[in-house]
Structure 1
Amino acid sequence: MPFALYLLGLAVFAMGTSEFMLSGLIPDIASDLRVSVPAAGALTSAFAAGMIVGAPLTAALSMRWPRRRALLAFLVSFLLLHVLGAVTTSFEVLLATRFAGAVANAGFLAVAVATAAAMAPPEAKGRATSILLGGVTLACVAGVPAGAVLGTMWGWRSAFWAVALLSVPAVVAVLRSVPATPAPTGGGGGARREARALRDPRLLMLLVLAALVNGATFCTFTYLAPLATSVGGIAPGWVPGLLVLFGLGSFAGVTAAGRLADTRPRPLLAAGGVALVAGWAVLGAAAGSPVAVAVLVLTQGALSFAVGSTLVSQVLYAATQAPTLAGSFATAAFNVGAAAGPWLGGITIGAGLGYRSPVWVSASLVAAALAVAATAHVTGRGPTSPDASRLQQTLP
């Protein structure tokens, strides 16, 4: 794999840290900016909304630019918005920076996925995707706990400064290592032409699967702290350790899937999906055991990201008529899930069903994904790529 892919992963690490770090900073932000905790929670919703809106719009806009220029524009904007967020005393300004920062994040990720697919060998889109998404999982392992520690020691603003500083070497890396290719041809007409790829039933099916699986992941992940403390009896001080376990599992899952997603996507998705449903069900039933919670947080993180990263690579294979917008399709689908999953989990908690209920929502979402995939398999629209099929014929 080209070394530039790993440098793109560094930028994704910085952005992933920003996306997830608020889980440990909301109370301090609420106190400092004199808003309620639920109001401060809108910062998370603003980021998710920015990702959903930003992915297709920024990807279409960037079709007029060379990819390196687009990556730099989004990354520098992301950096400057975090500087503004670190110095503002206005909650409204901070809310705006979270939305705008997410738009820049979505644009960068969409172009980075397309860039990675173009730089990788034709039969290695899954491995290239796993390298990029590895930055997100490493953010869960190291970036998010580090942000929580910085927030505890020097206040929530220090975490924003840290993300901005971490983006600087990523800017240099993109400038020096991503090839300076010419702008894609077609402009706005090219965007409209690529958007027509959404008429492909197989591509739409893959996007639905991505949204359902990611919705299940974030439904439980969002409410992991109250589940662990109120149901599992785990001391609050151990919650960061659970987040690290989830991140370690996610990194392991992405890494393992990177080796299989290009050659055996259907077995990986089928086995991984069934295991995900079973794992969420076991977690819902055994959430009162601290040991069970710890083990299942690790395994579910691995399974969720193994299946999720494989779906991203399958979107890239399916969207052959949309090489520039394919990454934005996948990014938008995943963030629809990231927004819908916690919302559905919150509804069940608000209905008095307790902190186990989001886990059962997660199981139901993956079960729905399996039903969609089974229907697609019967109709001949299941996830497989021409490149992967040819490779399978040469494998023992």
Structure 2
Amino acid sequence: MPVPLYLLALAVFAMGTSEFMLAGLLPDIASDLDVTVATAGVLTSAFAVGMLVGAPLVAALARNWPRRSSLLGFLLVFAAAHAVGAVTTSFPVMCATRAVAALANAGFLAVALTTAATLVTPDKKGRALAVLLSGTTVATIAGVPGGSVLGALLGWRATFWAVAALCLPAALGILKGIPAGGAKDEATGMPALRAELAQLTSRRLILAMLLGALVNAATFASFTFLAPLVTGAADLSEWCISVVLVLFGAGSFAGVMVAGRLSDRRPGLVVAVSGPLLLLGWPALALLADEPVALLTLVFVQGALSFALGSTLITRVLYEAAGAPTMAGAYATAALNVGAALGPLIAATTLTGLGSVGPLWASGLLVAIALLIALPFRTVVAAGWSTEVLR
């Protein structure tokens, strides 16, 4: 894989750390900015909404910009938003910085997904996506726990400064590693924006986006509430939360890397194997959450299966949106973030009736819905989505 891919992954690592780190910092932020923890939770919502809205909007605005300039600009805006967040004493300003950071993150990821696909041969999009998304999975392994430790030692503002600092080597790498040309130089050969948006009428593209969103919703439904699961149903101490998060992240990294080698040529195999196992795994984890060995094992396995299946489906979005060269990344990003936004909301409704294992049952239900939708089109999936069945 080309070195520039790993430079993009470094930036995605910084952004993934920022997206997930608030879970362990909200109490301190709330106390420092003189708001309740519930109010501070708006910071998470502001980021999610910014990501969801920002992906297609910013990608459309930046479609004729050189890719290197776009990536560098989005990354520097992201870093600046964290620098402002690190010094502000105003909660409204903090909310604004999270929204701006999310817009920059969405724009960066949309362009990065498209750029990653152009840095490799057409039959290696899945492997390129795996390298790029490894930045997110490594963030769950090292970035988020590391941010929590840094916040505990030096305060939450230090974590924001650390994220901003991480962006600087990534920016230098993009400046040196990504070709100066890109979308602007190719503008004469690109379809019009209307033509790229018209790709959304493709049933195969909509199917890939829907399945990707459902699987990602299942993933984030449980990931978001792993902490109460550990201290609740599992009855373990708080320090075990970091262990469980690291295990889930390690499984995610393994899953996305293995699937990256299969999703280009054997997507049907990945779906056929990981889909049913993922469906069985969430209820199994709910039933065995009070057994520490089973809990730790299944958390790793579910992380691997979730990202193997999810990354394969998002790869299919890039393939099916090949006729939208500047918007394909935005479609993939939108699918990811629809799931990331809806999953925790759905899971939260189960906490009252089912307790800390409720989100696990919600994840199982979401995976079941995805597989039921995919079942009528299993021959299309198994064939690498190369037929015209859904056209």
Normalised TM-score (structure 2)? 0.96
Q: Answer whether contact 1:64 1:187 (CA < 8 A) is retained.
A: no
Q: Answer whether contact 1:226 1:355 (CA < 8 A) is retained.
A: yes
Alignment size in residue pairs: 385
Pairwise CA RMSD: 1.6
**Shift of residue 376 of structure 1?**
2.5
Q: Answer whether contact 2:278 2:367 (CA < 8 A) is retained.
A: yes
Change (3 A) 1:186 1:62: farther
* SS of residue matched to 2:356: coil
- In structure 1, distance between residues paired with 2:276 and 2:215: 12
Partner residue of 1:31? 31
Change (3 A) 1:44 1:383: farther
Q: Answer whether contact 1:205 1:376 (CA < 8 A) is retained.
A: no
Change (3 A) 1:198 1:29: same
Which runs of structure 2 are paired with 1:1-396 in the superposition (5 Å)?
1-182=1-182, 183=184, 184-185=186-187, 190-350=192-352, 352-377=353-378, 380=380, 384-386=384-386
- Aligned AA for 1:194? E
Q: Answer whether contact 1:202 1:382 (CA < 8 A) is retained.
A: no
* SS of residue matched to 1:171: helix
**Shift of residue 292 of structure 1?**
1.4
Change (3 A) 1:381 1:250: closer
After superposition, the C-alpha distances for 1:200-237 in whole angstroms (9 at most, x for unaligned) are: 00100000001100000010111111011111011101
**Shift of residue 198 of structure 1?**
0.5
- Aligned AA for 1:376? F
Change (3 A) 1:189 1:353: same
- In structure 1, distance between residues paired with 2:317 and 2:191: 22
Change (3 A) 1:386 1:354: same
After superposition, the C-alpha distances for 1:60-105 in whole angstroms (9 at most, x for unaligned) are: 1111201111101100100100000100001111111111101100
Change (3 A) 1:101 1:382: farther
- In structure 1, distance between residues paired with 2:159 and 2:297: 29
For structure 1, which segment, 7-16 or 182-191, has the greater mean C-alpha deviation from structure 2 after superposition? 182-191
Change (3 A) 1:164 1:211: same
**Shift of residue 298 of structure 1?**
0.6
* SS of residue matched to 1:231: coil
- In structure 2, distance between residues paired with 1:189 and 1:119: 20
* SS of residue matched to 1:320: coil
- Aligned AA for 1:317? Y
- In structure 2, distance between residues paired with 1:230 and 1:262: 40
Q: Answer whether contact 1:202 1:383 (CA < 8 A) is retained.
A: no
- Aligned AA for 1:298? F
Change (3 A) 1:91 1:189: farther
After superposition, the C-alpha distances for 1:271-322 in whole angstroms (9 at most, x for unaligned) are: 1111111110101111111221111111111111111111121111111111
**Uncovered stretches (5+) of structure 1, i.e. residues with no partner:** 388-396
**Uncovered stretches (5+) of structure 2, i.e. residues with no partner:** none
After superposition, the C-alpha distances for 1:340-389 in whole angstroms (9 at most, x for unaligned) are: 01001111114x321111100000000000011112236x57772549xx
Change (3 A) 1:361 1:186: farther
- In structure 1, distance between residues paired with 2:338 and 2:200: 16
* SS of residue matched to 2:290: coil
Q: Answer whether contact 1:74 1:105 (CA < 8 A) is retained.
A: yes
After superposition, the C-alpha distances for 1:96-146 in whole angstroms (9 at most, x for unaligned) are: 111110110010011001001011111000000000000000101110011
- Aligned AA for 2:166? L
**Shift of residue 27 of structure 1?**
0.8
- In structure 1, distance between residues paired with 2:316 and 2:121: 15
- Aligned AA for 1:30? A
